[in-house]
Structure 1
Amino acid sequence: MLIRCGYEITLRCEEPTALVCLLSVHPDRMADIRGPETFSTDPEVVTSGFIDPFGNRALRMVAPAGAFTITGNVTVADSGAPEVAHRQAREVLVPDLPADCLGWLSGSRYCETDRLSQTAWDLFGHLPPGWDRVQAICDFVHEHLHFDYLQARATRTAFEAYEERVGVCRDFAHLALTFCRCLNIPARYVNGHLGDIGVPVVDPMDFSAWIEVFLDDGWHAFDPRNNRPRIGRIVIARGRDAADVPLVNSFGPHILDAFNVWTHEVAS
């Protein structure tokens, strides 16, 4: 199957403002891109690319004063199969973890492992370690939080989401990955495209956040917000939490004038 992804984002800046954007398909999926991945701005500005500390493809530029529109499109090949549960996958004891997994055990800006550690062990410490325990965490978060765009808050942390019992996909992800880290399970935050292929139409379309968890046979996607196998998940960026992977990081004030995202199946 082929999936067409794209976005059109319009910002308004009072003065020329430096931007760093994480909007490109992650290097892990580069081999699946069909045709050119396009990126343009209006008005046109000079852009340059680099790989950030977490291995994501970033673009930097300076937005002029006034309205500034960023547009991108890409077509990605996908198996078209729903995600499969690896229920035999086991947790790895900390002494046996690969060194590059250790950083995904620590607390971070939005994920207060110190404040949620006892809660995590009280809720999930009695469960057998492995895939099913991670799924139990996602089941709990899915039921505990009420999804509400109107109550989105950029500063809400995992602990606050747990207390307030409301949030958007980033809050679901933050709470689930914090519980995982409290239980010594490496977990990382993911931004990406996730359309409504195989499920009822999602409106309006948006970028999505989910988590990846390290078990004995590698990294696996879990999605506490949707909490069901999905088709066509396409990673853009990974980090410790949302602070590491803003879609647009503005080094100065701006107003968001327009935001449009699309992800849909197209003919081969």
Structure 2
Amino acid sequence: MRIRLGCEMRYAFPYPVPMVVMLNVHPTRADALEAPDTLRTEPPVPVDLYRDGFGNLCGRLTAPAGNFTLGTDAVIGDDGSPDPAHPEAEQHAIEALPAETIVFLLPSRYCESDLLADEAWRLFGHVEPGWGRVQAVCDFVHDHIAFGYEFAHGDRTAQDAYAGGRGVCRDFTHLAVAFCRALNVPTRYCTGYVSFIGEPEPHPAGDFAAWMEVFLGGRWHVFDPRNNSPRIGRVMVAYGRDAADVPLTHTFGPNPLVGFRVWAERIDHLDASGDAPILPEEPLPPQSMATRMG
């Protein structure tokens, strides 16, 4: 199966502004790309690529004054399977964890696992450690938080989301991450594309999504407390400790976003040049992407 995925962000900058962006498919999926996800800008500007401390692909650029557009448009191969489940996966003893997972046990800016530890153990301490306990966390968070784009707030932490009971998918993920870390499960925050392939219509407008990966049974596993069901066509862009590590765009100055659209849809073929079919001309309504992560 082929999935066409990408994004377009339009700005109106009052003066030149340096930016760091994370919009490329994560390097672990790069081999599956059938049409490259080259970062494109209009007007064209130089882009310096580098990998951050987590291995995410980042781009540095300076946006010029005036209208500026950046984005990607790629085609990736996918086996069409939903997120796998491994209920037999066991939790590791702390002393048996690989060293590189330890950072994902620690509190972070938006995931105050230390402050939520007592509540985590009160809610989930009776559940058998392993896959079932993580799923219990996701079930609770999915039911506890009311979803709505109007609830987006860039400063909301896991503790705030728990107290307020509302948010967008980054808030679902932050709370579940914090609970899992408090329960001694290494957990990392992920952002990327989640398609609506196989989901009943009508489909909402495209958006970037947030979910988490937990380390059980010697490997990382996907859990999605917002949707709380396996999805087809999940493609990671970046992971880190929380949303502070993986902003899609970070501007060192004003952030005057005037248009935003995201797509992740199944396609049947590439054209003769190896490109995907042209997207429809009609743009999606402008939306603020700051903190949405639906």
- TM-score, normalised to structure 2, is 0.90
Question: Secondary structure of the residue that 2:109 maps to in structure 1?
Answer: coil
The equivalent residue for 2:187 is: 187
Question: Secondary structure of the residue that 1:102 maps to in structure 2?
Answer: helix
Deviation of the 1:210 alpha carbon: 0.2
State the alpha-carbon separation in 2 of the partners of residues 24 and 71 from structure 1.
9
Q: 1:34-93 CA deviation, whole Å, 9 max, x = no partner?
A: 022232111111111000111000011000112210021111101101122100000001
- TM-score, normalised to structure 1, is 0.98
Q: Does 1:11 align with 2:11?
A: yes
What 5-or-longer segments of structure 1 have no aligned partner?
A: none
Higher relative contact order (CA 8 A, sep 6+): 1
Q: 1:162-191 CA deviation, whole Å, 9 max, x = no partner?
A: 000000010000000100000000000000
The equivalent residue for 1:53 is: 53
Deviation of the 1:5 alpha carbon: 0.2
State the alpha-carbon separation in 2 of the partners of residues 114 and 71 from structure 1.
37
Q: Does 1:119 align with 2:84?
A: no
State the alpha-carbon separation in 1 of the partners of residues 196 and 209 from structure 2.
11
Question: Secondary structure of the residue that 2:137 maps to in structure 1?
Answer: helix
The equivalent residue for 1:206 is: 207
The equivalent residue for 1:221 is: 222
1:238-253 to 2 correspondence within 5 Å? Answer: 238-253=239-254
1:95-244 to 2 correspondence within 5 Å? Answer: 95-201=95-201, 202-244=203-245
State the alpha-carbon separation in 2 of the partners of residues 260 and 36 from structure 1.
19
The number of equivalent residue pairs is 268
What 5-or-longer segments of structure 2 have no aligned partner?
A: 270-294
Question: Secondary structure of the residue that 2:221 maps to in structure 1?
Answer: strand
Q: 1:105-162 CA deviation, whole Å, 9 max, x = no partner?
A: 0000101112111000000011100101100000000000000101100110000000
Question: Secondary structure of the residue that 1:264 maps to in structure 2?
Answer: strand
State the alpha-carbon separation in 2 of the partners of residues 117 and 96 from structure 1.
21
Conserved? CA contact 1:14–1:254, under 8 Å: no
Conserved? CA contact 2:196–2:265, under 8 Å: yes
| Identical positions, percent | 49
The equivalent residue for 2:90 is: 90
State the alpha-carbon separation in 1 of the partners of residues 36 and 27 from structure 2.
14
Conserved? CA contact 2:24–2:38, under 8 Å: no
State the alpha-carbon separation in 1 of the partners of residues 176 and 57 from structure 2.
25
State the alpha-carbon separation in 1 of the partners of residues 39 and 256 from structure 2.
21
Question: Secondary structure of the residue that 1:142 maps to in structure 2?
Answer: helix
C-alpha RMSD over aligned residues? 0.9
Question: Secondary structure of the residue that 2:92 maps to in structure 1?
Answer: coil
Conserved? CA contact 2:42–2:69, under 8 Å: yes
Q: Which moved more, 1:34-43 or 1:250-259?
A: 34-43
State the alpha-carbon separation in 2 of the partners of residues 115 and 69 from structure 1.
41
Amino acid at match of 1:17: V
Question: Secondary structure of the residue that 1:69 maps to in structure 2?
Answer: strand
Question: Secondary structure of the residue that 2:138 maps to in structure 1?
Answer: helix
Question: Secondary structure of the residue that 1:114 maps to in structure 2?
Answer: coil
Conserved? CA contact 2:23–2:39, under 8 Å: no
State the alpha-carbon separation in 1 of the partners of residues 216 and 108 from structure 2.
21
Question: Secondary structure of the residue that 1:87 maps to in structure 2?
Answer: coil
Q: 1:180-223 CA deviation, whole Å, 9 max, x = no partner?
A: 00000000000001110011243111000000000013000000
Amino acid at match of 1:180: C
State the alpha-carbon separation in 2 of the partners of residues 166 and 127 from structure 1.
25
Conserved? CA contact 1:145–1:162, under 8 Å: yes
Question: Secondary structure of the residue that 1:19 maps to in structure 2?
Answer: strand
